[in-house]
Amino acid sequence: MSPMKIITKSTEIESFLQKLKRRSQGESPEIAKKVRKILDAVRRQGDRALIRFTKQFDGHEKIKIPPSIVKKYADRADKDVVKALSLSAKRIKRFHEKQKESSWSFKEDGIRLGQMIRPLERVGVYVPGGKAAYPSTVLMNVIPAQVAGVKEIALTVPTPDGEINPYVMASIRLLGIKEVYCVGGAQAVAALTYGTETIKKVDKIVGPGNIYVATAKKIVFGEVDIDMIAGPSEILVIADHTAPPEFVAADLLSQAEHDELASPVLITDSNALAQAVREQLKVQLSALKRKDIARESLKKYGAIIVVKNISDAMEISNRIAPEHLEVMTQAPQKLIPKIMNAGAVFVGRWTPEPLGDYSAGPNHTLPTGGTARWASPLGVYDFIKRTSLLEFTKKGFLTLAETVETIADIEGLGAHANAVRIRRK
C-alpha cells in the first residue's frame, strides 16, 4: 500500500497546509544551547577549541586540506563524473553571468547620484561532508561568488573519521579553490564568523548543513551575513489528466529520498491521475535504495490533493510557496503568470526537478519553508554590495537646502538642519 494519502475535503487540505507550516517553524532550544556553547568556545579559544570539537565530532585533529591533498583525491575521481561536473560548472557559470550588475550614475543640474556595485571581499562556503557528500553544492555556492568577483573564498567540508570525498575534491579543484578546511558543524560556522589562528573570518557564510549548522548560521547572523536558513526539501507538482503518472511519481520520489522531513506534494484536478500516481509510487518506491527514507517522507509530509480545477491548485501552490514547483499540465506555459511564490519553476513533463539540482544552470540553493514568498534563489546578487553615491556642487546644494532644512526642523533634528543652514549662510 502506498503511504501517500489522497485528500479532497477542504478541511483536510487546510489541516495539511497547517502541518506543513508547523514543520518549517520548529527550533530546538536544546540544540540552540549546545550551539551557543560551541560558538562561544571557538570565539574565545580559536584553533584550540576548533581542534577539540573536530576531534570530538569527526575523529581527527586536522583543520586544513592543502592543495596537494585536494589534487590527490581529485585524481581518484571517475573521469566521466569529472566530465559531468565540468559541463555542469560551465552551464552554471553561463547562467549566473546574466545576473551581474554594474555601477551606474546620473546627473542633474549640479548633482550626481548613483550606485557603486562592489563584490564582497571574503566569503565562507559550507559543504556537507562524509557520507552526505555533494560536489554539486560546491559548484552552486562557489560559482556565483566567483562570477560576482569575490577575491577570497574559504571552503569548509567536514571529513568524519578523516574520510575525504574524491568528487567534492574534484569540484574544488575544478573551480580553483585553494583555501579548504576539513572542519564542520557549528564549529566551522564559528571559525568563519569570528576567525581563528588558521581560519580568517569572512563577511558572509553560504551553504547547507544539518540542524546544528543551520542553528549556528541563524545565531551569528548580524556578525556576518548568511544566505538563508535552509529547511527540508520540498517539491510540489501541479498536474492534470495529461501528465504521465510514472513521471509525476518519479519526481515526487526524487525529493522524498532526501530525508524523512522532505515534503512531496501533488495537486491535481484528476481523480484518475491521483490513483495512478499512488499506484506508481508503490512500484517505484520498492526499487529505491533509500526507500525507507522516502516512505517516511511520503507518509509524514506528502499528500495528493485533488481539487475541482487547476485554478484552485495554483491558489494552494501560492500559499505553500514551494522550493520546487513542477507544472505538468496540457498548457503549462499559460499558468506561469499565475505563479506568485516559488523558489524554482519547472515547466512541462520534460523538465524534472533533478535537472535543476545539477546541470541546467540556475542555482539549486532555493528558499524553503514558505520563504519563497519573499526570498530568492542564491545568485550573484548575494555576493555583491550596493553603495549609494552622492556628489553636489554649490549650485546643486542650494536647490535642496531649504527643503532639507524644513524636514529636519519638523523632525526636531536641529543639528541636521544646521549642517545645511551653516552652508547657506
Active site residues: 323-324
CB neighbour class for 252 (10 Å; exposed up to 12, middle 13-18, buried from 19): buried
Q: Where are the alpha helices (DSSP H) in 286-325?
A: 291-301, 310-320
Nearest CA to 175 among 98, 100, 96? 96
Residue 4 DSSP one-character state? P
Q: How far is residue 331's CA from residue 336's CA, in Å, rounded to a whole number?
A: 10
Q: Cβ atoms within 10 A of the Cβ of 65, count?
A: 23
Helix (H), strand (E) counts: the chain = 16, 14
Nearest CA to 336 among 236, 313, 242, 327? 327
Q: How far is residue 189's CA from residue 169's CA, in Å, rounded to a whole number?
A: 20
Q: How far is residue 249's CA from residue 327's CA, in Å, rounded to a whole number?
A: 14
Cβ atoms of 238 and 325 closer than 8 Å: yes
Cβ atoms of 301 and 293 closer than 8 Å: no
Nearest CA to 144 among 381, 386, 374, 387? 381
Q: How far is residue 272's CA from residue 289's CA, in Å, rounded to a whole number?
A: 28
340-371 burial code (b ≥16 CB/10 A, e <16) = ebbbbbbbebebbbeebbbbbebbbbbbbbbb
C-alpha cell at 345: 519553476
Q: How far is residue 23's CA from residue 231's CA, in Å, rounded to a whole number?
A: 9
C-alpha cell at 147: 562570477
Q: How far is residue 292's CA from residue 271's CA, in Å, rounded to a whole number?
A: 27
